[in-house]
Structure 1
Amino acid sequence: MPATSSTPAPALDGKILCHAMWARDGRELADFYATALGTEVSRTYPGPQGEPAACGFDVGPSMYLFYSSENFTAPNWPEEELPFHMDLTFTDVRAAEERLLEMGATRPDHQPGGTYWTVLLDPSGQPFCIHQAH
């Protein structure tokens, strides 16, 4: 039987460096979310042949990175569970929804949030939620 130690394991001090998403066109998706969050794409990372493989931007201490993938397929939501999605807040959620729809988002029929949030699909077909800022 292995010996046990009464010394607690050291605490980890990890921090989130970035939130990453994939799409067929990472630059298009980065531009969409950067505009929604009031900023601009400020980072581009090259792929193996020097082509832009990922684009991103910072909001506060967080970086958001969007990768291009020729094999990307949007989730078949709501039939498939989502491993990840974004929730965004706006001071005027109705005006934000209108603007996001003009920018290429779509509004699916399935709206599980009732009056608490609205689900939209970004230009890559991935769900995200919008909420009223508190």
Structure 2
Amino acid sequence: MSTTPSTGTLSGSVISYAIWADDGRRLAEFYAAALGSEVGEPYPDEHGNEVAFPVTVGNAMYVFWTSSSFTAPAWPQQELPFHMDLAFPDVAAAEKRLLELGANKPDFQPGGEHWTVLLDPSGQPLCISQAQPS
């Protein structure tokens, strides 16, 4: 018996992005501050421990999960499965504030004048750049 694949078009939508870290709450607080948002009500695991911390920005929700087995990528030696690009009207001021919030600036900066790479508090790279005029 053979089956024929459906020819219908899917029309799903992304409702959240999940990001693992050694301390999900700390990472949620970092990105909430960076994006002008707040950390929402945390989600518990099966034992009642708070392990997932949502941050809503516009129509997107980012959920920062605490993972005891999390290891930050060895960037730039390892390829990244994902990273965030954040845009700001004043990149210099944003960089300064993100560093105050716990980010680090690695020596390797492949973006030249186009973007700056920072490492968030969990050690994962993120890029910041100039916001484009709307």
The verdict on a shared fold, with TM-score over 0.5 as the criterion, is yes
Larger Rg, first or second structure (1 or 2): 1
Q: What is the Cα deviation at residue 109 of structure 1?
A: 0.5
Aligned equivalent of 2:120: 122
Q: What is the Cα deviation at residue 3 of structure 1?
A: 8.9
Aligned equivalent of 1:39: 37
The verdict on how the C-alpha distance between 1:93 and 1:50 changes in structure 2, with shifts beyond 3 A counting, is same
The verdict on how the C-alpha distance between 1:98 and 1:48 changes in structure 2, with shifts beyond 3 A counting, is same
Matches within 5 A, 1:39-78: 39-78=37-76
Q: Does 1:89 align with 2:102?
A: no
Residue-pair matches, total: 132
Classify the secondary structure of the residue corresponding to 1:49.
coil
Q: Kindly report the root-mean-square deviation, in angstroms, between the aligned alpha carbons of the 2 structures.
A: 1.7
Contact map agreement 1:43 1:57 (CA 8 A) in 2: no
Q: What is the Cα deviation at residue 70 of structure 1?
A: 1.0
Aligned equivalent of 1:9: 7
Classify the secondary structure of the residue corresponding to 1:40.
coil
Structure 1 unmatched runs, 5+: none
Classify the secondary structure of the residue corresponding to 2:42.
strand
Classify the secondary structure of the residue corresponding to 1:101.
helix
Structure 2 unmatched runs, 5+: none
The verdict on how the C-alpha distance between 1:10 and 1:52 changes in structure 2, with shifts beyond 3 A counting, is same
Q: What is the Cα deviation at residue 48 of structure 1?
A: 1.6
Aligned equivalent of 2:101: 103
Percent identity for Structure 1 against Structure 2: 58
